[in-house]
Amino acid sequence: MTLADLCLPLMVLLTIGALVPAKWAGRHDYDNSRPRDPGFYTAGFRARSQWAHQNSYESLPFFFAAVILAEMRAAPQGTVNALAIAFVVARAGYIAAYWFDRPTLRSVVWAVALLCNLAIFFLPLAG
């Protein structure tokens, strides 16, 4: 198993983890029998946490496909690993920028993550 492979479940955990602080901060209002209640995710931190969570889920399919295809096509594994780690770090930064309401930084970090993902996807062409 490669480092890039390990980044796949790590991204799933990071995506789920985007909601943890909102649920913890609102634990007195949170109803686990209605985990998707839109009323819980009101404006502010809770809403931003949900948006970060949703966007992270949207990023997963392309990341998974890029890593799997790059490895299937024998792209240089060290480069795939480095780019996958950079993607995970950028996505963690993206979530943090969402939490702390830094929209410009969030957009920049989103673009960095996208570029990492595109680089992984097209890496087999360079070889």
Per-run averaged pLDDT (10 residues), the chain, 127 residues: 97 96 85 80 90 96 98 96 98 97 97 98 89
Contact by Cβ (8 Å): 40, 26: yes
Residue showing tokens 């839109």: 38
CA distance 59 to 52: 11
The model's pTM? 0.93
CATH code that applies to domain 3-126: 1.20.120.550
Domain residue ranges in the chain: 3-126
What pLDDT shows up at residue 127?
Answer: 67
User: DSSP letter string over 33-77?
Assistant: TSTT-TTTS-TTHHHHHHHHHHHHHHHHHHHHHHHHHHHHTT--H
**Vertex 119: Cα angle to 116 and 123 (nearest 5):** 145
User: Residue 46 — φ and ψ, nearest 5°?
Assistant: -60, -40
User: DSSP letter string over 2-42?
Assistant: -HHHHHHHHHHHHHHHTTHHHHHHTTTT--TTSTT-TTTS-
Query: Three-state SS for 75?
Result: coil
What pLDDT shows up at residue 31?
Answer: 81
CB-based contacts of 81, cutoff 8 Å, min separation 6:
2, 3, 4
